[in-house]
Structure 1
Amino acid sequence: MSDLPPRDPLESDEAPDMAAAELALGLLDGDERAVAIRRVLAEPGFARSVERWRTHLAQLFDLWPAIEAPDLFARIEASLDRPAEAPVATLALSPPAKSKLWPALAGLSSMAAAVMLFVLFTRPVPVPPAPQARPTATVAAARAPTLVAAIDADAAGVASATAVYDAQAGAMRITEAKLVGADRSAELWVIPADGTPHSLGLLHARGGTALTLSRENRARIAAGAVLAVTVEPIGGSPTGLPTGPVVAKGSLTAV
């Protein structure tokens, strides 16, 4: 192990760690000082660098003797108590001028602040116009009442069905009902006020049926409209209009 003393941090080939120098000079405060102290505890090399800086700077401090700071406060008080024969530049610091100047500036500042407050509180504040609410189709549908129809079978011994229309979802659910034979399809129609039937879809014989309606059919669903079930070929009407007899029907009612 070498007995040579550690090299001066200013003579090192590498750039000195200025954080170590700043900590040694007492220039760090707050978070920076806390970080540097943690480094002293965690990094032996950094701690040695701080100590070298302190030793190096202590030698520089020894080159200049300590000089007591002059008593400036006493000199300032003495200058304020002097009579008014001081030069023009000194007269600005004399008590008479000071006593007149600062109250005048304070009065002007108070007046300016009062004027600003008066303007702020008396100026009419423009009120932005309220945005015009445009109800969307979803909001309008959410406010629409639920519609229910009891679809009564015309033939004896045929079970009836119940239809419930959810306006917000635009969907209709029909309970299970066996309205036609296995070799036929039961097709549901809506008949609005104009009397023209429009197909809503095919009904399932088991488990009930859930139908999502098109935008056009949603507009036709309203209280008083008639739901009718017809007997059609497998797969539904080939013409887009009822081709078989009506086996059940009922009117939609708001609940």
Structure 2
Amino acid sequence: MSEAPDLTEAEALAAEHALGVLDARERADAENRMARDPAFAADVEAWRQRLAPMLDSIAAVPAPQGTWARIERRLPANDDRMAPANDNGRLLDRVRFWRNSAMGGFGAAAAALVAALVVGNQPATVVTREVPVQPQGQLLSASVVSQDSRVQPLFVAAYDPDRKQLIVTSLLPEGSDRDKVHELWLIAGKENPKSLGLVESGKAKVIALPTELLAKMADGAALAVSLEPPGGSKNPDGPSGPVIGVGKLSKL
């Protein structure tokens, strides 16, 4: 079955960054891009606002006892209060620290003055920033869980009706598909399941939904994932392999 068209590289990166599924290197690249590309930064912020309601469903986890004390002990500033007043070595270290800090401050001030003179002689650059559009439609989410006795979460999904996009994140280990693929389905009412395309283990995907499926993305509809041969189901009326997970769409 045909798969809905994906977003552009920039749109998908913005959504994945807002969702928090990038690794350290990808996240650093995205942050650098936000710093130099106001449009991309605005797109990330828009996704963050749309996904923010999902945080309400996550219970707070208190930090382990003694965490803050351990952080304080690691801070360089706390070395001074632990040193005896007659400890000449520590005193010398502190003198060097403040002397170096002062020299660094003078250096920074001089550099700032030079930069100001250089910038002052350059033509003004106008930077415009797009204002994120406030969401108008009702966000929906679903947790696709296994159908065996373990009831294990397999995928999570969030639907943004304003952008007509579905973000699906796999909770399975990357590469666990092996010789099979996971196919995502929309189940609405008594109609046959509609394929939303393939989803990879351990990855997130942004799916732009075709027009004919938009009205079916509603509270009470369900998402399902089936295990299929490479290329997806050959059955035009639904999955050809076993359905491994199901989850209902509900309002955030």
TM-score range, shorter chain: 0.3 to 0.5
TM-score scaled by structure 2? 0.42
Larger RCO (CA under 8 A, 6+ residues apart): 2
TM-score scaled by structure 1? 0.42
Greater Rg over alpha carbons, structure:
1
